[in-house]
Amino acid sequence: MFKPLDPLLHSELRLAVVSLLISSDSADCPYIKEQTGATAGNLSVQIDKLSAAGYIEVEKTFKGKKPCTLCRITPLGLKAFEEYVEALRSYLNVT
């Protein structure tokens, strides 16, 4: 009846991050922060979790002299997102 919802994606901020990365291919923290309205600390934690799960890839670079954390979605992350959306349907297709 109701499919289980991946707890890693069933989180407002993490879902927003993944959603953003799917349409942006790659994004740095300040951009994600701006688009989601998240605080830096919260964002850092959630990026860690997504990264630990292999849903996103994190590359530490520099933009000029400043540190810059680049994130991009992985195939695993994309698959998880698609499955999450599919699972959600079982809750929403109430018609």
Partner DNA sequence: ATAAACAAGTTTATAATATAAACCAAATTA
Partner DNA sequence: TAATTTGGTTTATATTATAAACTTGTTTAT
Pick from DNA, its own copies, none: which does 46 bind, CB < 5 to 8 A by kind?
A: DNA
Please give the order of strands across the beta sheet that includes 56-63: 27-28, 66-73, 56-63
Q: Which ranges of the chain does DSSP label H, i.e. alpha helix?
A: 12-24, 29-36, 40-52, 75-92
Judging by beta carbons within 10 Å of its beta carbon (0-12, 13-18, 19+), is residue 24 exposed, middle or buried?
A: middle
Structure tokens at 70: 């680049």
CB of 63 to its own copies, least distance (A): 22
Contacting its own copies within 2-31 (CB under 8 A):
2, 4-5, 10, 12, 15-16, 19, 22-23
Binding site for DNA (CB under 7 A): 7, 10-14, 28-30, 38-49, 63-69
Binding site for its own copies (CB under 8 A): 1-2, 4-5, 10, 12, 15-16, 19, 22-23, 35-37, 81, 85, 88, 91-92, 94-95
